[in-house]
Amino acid sequence: MSAKHYSTDVVIIGAGPVGLFAVFECGMLKMKCHVIDSLEHAGGQLTALYPEKPIYDIPGYPMVLAGDLAAKLEEQAAPFSPEYHFKQQVSDLKRQADGRYEVTTSAGEVINCAAVIIAAGAGAFGPNRPPIDDIVTYEGKSVFYMVRRRQDFADKTVVIAGGGDSAVDWAISLAELAKKIYFVHRRDKFRAAPESVDKLQAIAKTGKIEMVIPYQLHSLQGKDGVLSAVELADLDGKKKTVEADALLPLFGIVPQLGALANWGIEIQQHHLPVDPSTQQTNLPGVFAIGDIAKYPKKIKLILTGFGEAAMAAHAIHPLVYPGKELHFVYSTSQGVP
């Protein structure tokens, strides 16, 4: 079967919030985009890790759920007809003799483009799995590394393991509807916001959450991916078993830059240094925006990434339309298709 070939103006690697907004910014400058993402849907970490968590620092939204923000960004990009390539990663990037790039995906698709925008967070990411031999057989059935819908855990006994913001916040949130929550952590110090830890401990006093400290995950009990109990062990090897319908090991995500490291692009501590006036990396025509982009005194916020998307789009315009002067027009005057 022959590979599919495409030609477009810009290839955007990453369909998270910043990548989606880059589609809009490029579209406003009449540049077409293809978007590649390793997930099966748009939204990035907003939909993959915390779709029902509130965000408070998006201009114009006193509060917006992460999943809702992702949906609005996808809606905002829709008039410009981006073509999405989901469940794929970029396996190769080659500059052609004419200065354009040829992007090859893990599915064998080849996209020719004038410029590339890398908006992949801190690289493609995967869950930080606990070292339990048969955990994969339970994943997606009883073991989850993210909460897509709170209601899925209603009236269930849930084991949450971890000590960071994600573990603490979800324990607080799911305590409202779960039958019982066991909160497992290897020490009595947390990496979460102090006010959240105080709230967690207050709920624990009601009996809705049982703190199991200092313990770590040891093994799983169940059949055909359906969990019945989780075996825990303390630092001395003492075992303890708790019943469970679901396990949430929330130990964060692991950045995986993958093939990106072989493109000749400069990488510093899983990030890509860029010129902050254009967002261009050391490779001509390759730009980076969002969390993966690095420059002095950068503030890692979604809204910062939105501004970077606009900067990159304007820097790319002369690559798509060489010799054509860009007459910038505000969206209030220009409108959208």
Closest CA to 86 of 49, 21, 47, 42: 42
50-67 average pLDDT score: 88
Give the percent of the chain with pLDDT over 90.
Answer: 72
Neighbours of 183 (CB within 10 A): 26
| Per-range mean pLDDT, top range of 15-24, 117-126, 184-193 | 15-24
Measure CA of the first residue to CA of the last residue in the chain; give whole Å. Answer: 36
pLDDT at 48 over 70: no
Would you call the peptide bond into 54 cis, given omega within 30 degrees of 0 as the criterion?
no
**Which residue, of 234, 249, 264, is where some domain finishes?**
249
In this structure, are 15 and 96 located in the same domain?
yes
In this structure, are 120 and 17 located in the same domain?
yes
CA-to-CA dists, residue 24 to 4, 32, 51, 78, 291, angstroms: 25, 10, 22, 8, 19
Closest CA to 312 of 337, 336, 335, 290: 290
Domain that holds residue 225: 129-249
The answer to which of 30-39, 258-267, 310-319, 320-329 has the lowest mean pLDDT is 258-267
In this structure, are 267 and 212 located in the same domain?
no
Question: Which has more pLDDT, 48 or 200?
Answer: 200
**Which residue, of 191, 224, 249, is where some domain finishes?**
249
In this structure, are 222 and 282 located in the same domain?
no
In this structure, are 228 and 257 located in the same domain?
no
Q: Helices 66-77 and 17-28 sit at what angle, rounded to 10 degrees?
A: 20
In this structure, are 14 and 116 located in the same domain?
yes
d(CA 33, CA 82): 5
pLDDT (tens digit, 9 = 90+) per residue, 156-196?
A: 999 999 999 889 999 999 999 999 999 999 998 998 889 99
252-274 average pLDDT score: 78
pLDDT at 225 over 80: yes
Answer yes or no: pTM beyond 0.75: no
Provide the pLDDT for residue 258: 62
**Which residue, of 249, 274, 295, is where some domain finishes?**
249
Burial of 236 (C-beta count, 10 Å sphere; 0-12/13-18/19+): exposed
Provide the pLDDT for residue 123: 47
Question: Which residues does residue 213 pair with via DSSP β-bridges, in sequence order?
Answer: none
Please tell me the total count of domains within the chain. Answer: 2
Q: Helices 302-320 and 17-28 sit at what angle, rounded to 10 degrees?
A: 40
Rounded to the nearest angstrom, the gap between the alpha carbon of residue 159 and the centroid of all alpha carbons in its chain is 23
Provide the pLDDT for residue 270: 78
Secondary structure of residue 327 in the 3-state scheme: coil
Residue 70 tokens read as: 């992702």
Secondary structure of residue 171 in the 3-state scheme: helix
In this structure, are 259 and 218 located in the same domain?
no
In this structure, are 139 and 288 located in the same domain?
no
Provide the pLDDT for residue 47: 74
In this structure, are 116 and 143 located in the same domain?
no
Q: What residue type is 150 in one-letter code?
A: R
d(CA 269, CA 210): 38
Please report, for the domain that includes residue 299, its CATH number: 3.50.50.60
In this structure, are 82 and 150 located in the same domain?
no
Mean pLDDT of the chain: 91
In this structure, are 269 and 319 located in the same domain?
yes
